[in-house]
Amino acid sequence: MTFLPAELPNTAVRGAAFAQSAVKLAALRLRERVRESRLPDEFHPQDDDAFVAAAYFAGDLSSVYQLEQWLWPFEQLETRLKDLGFGDRPFGIIVRNSLVARHLKGVTSFPVRFSRLTKGLDEFMQAPSLRAVFYVNQGTSNFQALRYPEPAHVHLSHGESEKISMISNQLKGYDYVFTAGQAARERIEQTLYGMSDDRMFDVGRPQLDRPRSIPPEWKEFEAEHPDGKAVFYAPTWEGDSPSMAYGTIAYNGTEIVTSLLEAGYRVIFRPHPRTGVMCHEFEKAVEDVAEIVESDPRGFLDKSPDVSWQLDEADLAVVEMTSVAFDWLASGKPLVMVKPHGPDAEVLEGGLLDRCPAVDSMSGESVVDLIGEAISRRGLVSELAQFYLGDTAVGEQTARFIQSSERVIRIRTDERRVKRAE
């Protein structure tokens, strides 16, 4: 191919950029391999591993929160499995990222196993004791684990929501799907072909049963600024595609927070941990909103590890299409939604965005006015909680999760026994 002289500079620039990217990628992979080689042997699958149930996670540190929110329910399940006589260590975790392996070792007592290669995954997944494997997201690498037929594969997700990813055809790759409640089951049945009801078990959101502790930072803030209702503002991230672009903080975050503060509300601001991963504009928006919040005596920048105590301490919430909105329903308190900014974000008709007062950047309605509407319709939230989560009385959602997990383990045990007898 012959290039015209005018084309040569651009071609050279593109070639140099590609070469630079290749060098960076090679250096990154080298660092990863070095980290992997330095992992202690305890992170590799062990000959005496006898896990009956396990969690599979192939994500990196930016998404490890998806797994962390399930650690407490897994602990409750493990206690039950021990009571049933499944040994001293019936639950384990397999990850595919060495940094995640080290991180988890510091936040959980569960045995954490790591393997980037198929060999280690084979050893873990083909263990004779393994009956159920849980998945907390729809990561592409999940399908490397789904090829093993012996354990039952169970999709949990990392929250209930009406994002388009919650009705992905990928759900058919799992043996079972643990749905939050009636709404999730209906959503899946109405969208996916051939997804039978007997593969879905309602478990609610067992994380909500976890005992909550109030951060000392909030206690101190509240003592200094006790007046005014507290609004929990928890916007989501920008999403990884136009259809999943539910986040709006880059378009109306400063306006929402400023309006709330000016109206006399105290604001608990908690951005999604992945905000800015795909778009610098969103990263900058979080910085701008955080600056507004921290510069106002009624603003509180929430740096606590999870969403839990806010359901008790805040008086109402302003939330986008994210699992936080659905968790909030269990509080029974007023909820204001924020509609996506972009027209390509896929929104389910008749969902939470239609049922609750919702900020629409095109309508010009003030979030403060919508809060008044939400307060006047307070009974609506309790009705929605039943539809989306089922019984949210303390302990009920955890009980359903444990019962469903036991059922899966029992079914798979019986199936394997029958298959061996054939």
Task: Extract the tokens encoding 248.
Answer: 């709006």
Question: Running DSSP on this structure, what letter comes out for residue 4?
Answer: -
Q: Work out the average pLDDT over 257-262.
A: 98
Task: Extract the tokens encoding 1.
Answer: 């191919």
29 vs 190, more confident: 190
Instruction: Measure the CA–CA gap between 275 and 247, rounded to whole angstroms.
Output: 9
Residue 21 confidence (pLDDT) = 64
Residue 164 confidence (pLDDT) = 87
> Each residue of 204-227: pLDDT tens digit?
999 999 999 999 999 999 999 999
Instruction: Measure the CA–CA gap between 328 and 315, rounded to whole angstroms.
Output: 11
Note whether residue 192 is domain-resident.
Answer: yes
Question: Are 140 and 241 in the same domain?
Answer: no
Instruction: Measure the CA–CA gap between 161 and 336, rounded to whole angstroms.
Output: 15
Closest to 70 (Cα-Cα) out of 84, 49, 82, 53: 53
Residue 362 confidence (pLDDT) = 72
163 vs 56, more confident: 56
Q: Are 132 and 154 in contact (CB under 8 A)?
A: yes
Kindly report the number of other CB atoms within 10 A of residue 70's CB atom: 21
Instruction: Measure the CA–CA gap between 70 and 158, rounded to whole angstroms.
Output: 8
Q: Is the dihedral of CA 407, 96, 67, 137 positive or negative?
A: negative
Question: Are 186 and 266 in the same domain?
Answer: no
Question: Are 188 and 73 in the same domain?
Answer: yes
Question: Are 372 and 257 in the same domain?
Answer: yes
Note whether residue 37 is domain-resident.
Answer: no
Backbone angles phi, psi at 233, to 5 degrees: -105, 110
- Euclidean distance between the first and final Cα of the chain, in Å? 64
DSSP string covering 14-82: HHHHHHHHHHHHHHHHHHHHHHHHTS-GGGS--TT---SEEEEE---GGGTHHHHTTHHHHHHHHHHHH
Note whether residue 21 is domain-resident.
Answer: no
Instruction: Measure the CA–CA gap between 379 and 153, rounded to whole angstroms.
Output: 38
Burial 11-29 (b: 16+ CB within 10 A, else e): eeeeeeeeeeeeeeeeeee
Residue 30 confidence (pLDDT) = 62
Residues with Cβ within 8 Å of residue 345, at least 6 apart in sequence: 239, 242, 243, 244, 245, 246, 321
Q: What is the 3-state secondary structure (H, E, C) of 252-294?
A: HHHHHHHHHHHCCCEEEECCCCCCCCCCHHHHHHHHHHHHHHH
Q: Are 53 and 131 in contact (CB under 8 A)?
A: yes
Confidence grade of residue 40 (pLDDT, cut at 50, 70, 90): confident
> Each residue of 321-344: pLDDT tens digit?
999 999 999 999 999 999 999 889
> Each residue of 285-301: pLDDT tens digit?
999 999 999 999 999 99
Note whether residue 322 is domain-resident.
Answer: yes
Edge-to-edge order in the sheet of strand 230-234: 299-301, 266-269, 230-234, 316-319, 335-338, 358-359
Burial 293-318 (b: 16+ CB within 10 A, else e): beebebbbbbeeeebbbbbebbbbbb
Closest to 325 (Cα-Cα) out of 234, 210, 213: 234
Task: Tell me the average pLDDT of the chain.
Answer: 92
Tell me, what CATH number does 125's domain have?
A: 3.40.50.11720
Instruction: Measure the CA–CA gap between 145 and 143, rounded to whole angstroms.
Output: 5
Question: Are 128 and 243 in the same domain?
Answer: no
Number of domains within the chain: 2
Q: Work out the average pLDDT over 132-151.
A: 96
Lowest mean pLDDT among 7-21, 219-233, 315-329: 7-21
Q: Work out the average pLDDT over 388-407.
A: 97
Q: Work out the average pLDDT over 73-93.
A: 98
Question: Are 254 and 130 in the same domain?
Answer: no
Query: What's the chain's length in residues?
Result: 422
Question: Are 367 and 410 in the same domain?
Answer: no
Question: Are 228 and 326 in the same domain?
Answer: yes
CA 381 to chain centre: 22
Residue 24 confidence (pLDDT) = 65
Q: Work out the average pLDDT over 295-314.
A: 96
Note whether residue 314 is domain-resident.
Answer: yes
Note whether residue 199 is domain-resident.
Answer: yes
pLDDT higher than threshold 50 for residue 398? yes
pLDDT higher than threshold 90 for residue 80? yes
Instruction: Measure the CA–CA gap between 410 and 416, rounded to whole angstroms.
Output: 10
Question: Are 264 and 372 in the same domain?
Answer: yes
Q: Is the dihedral of CA 239, 245, 247, 250 positive or negative?
A: positive
Q: Work out the average pLDDT over 109-122.
A: 96
Kindly report the number of other CB atoms within 10 A of residue 226's CB atom: 8
pLDDT higher than threshold 70 for residue 26? no
Question: Are 376 and 240 in the same domain?
Answer: yes
Residue 1 confidence (pLDDT) = 47
Instruction: Give the containing element (helix H, strand E) for 412.
Output: helix 396-421
Confidence grade of residue 66 (pLDDT, cut at 50, 70, 90): very high
Q: Provide the domain limits for residue 375.
A: 216-389
Residue 240 confidence (pLDDT) = 87
Tell me, what CATH number does 243's domain have?
A: 3.40.50.2000
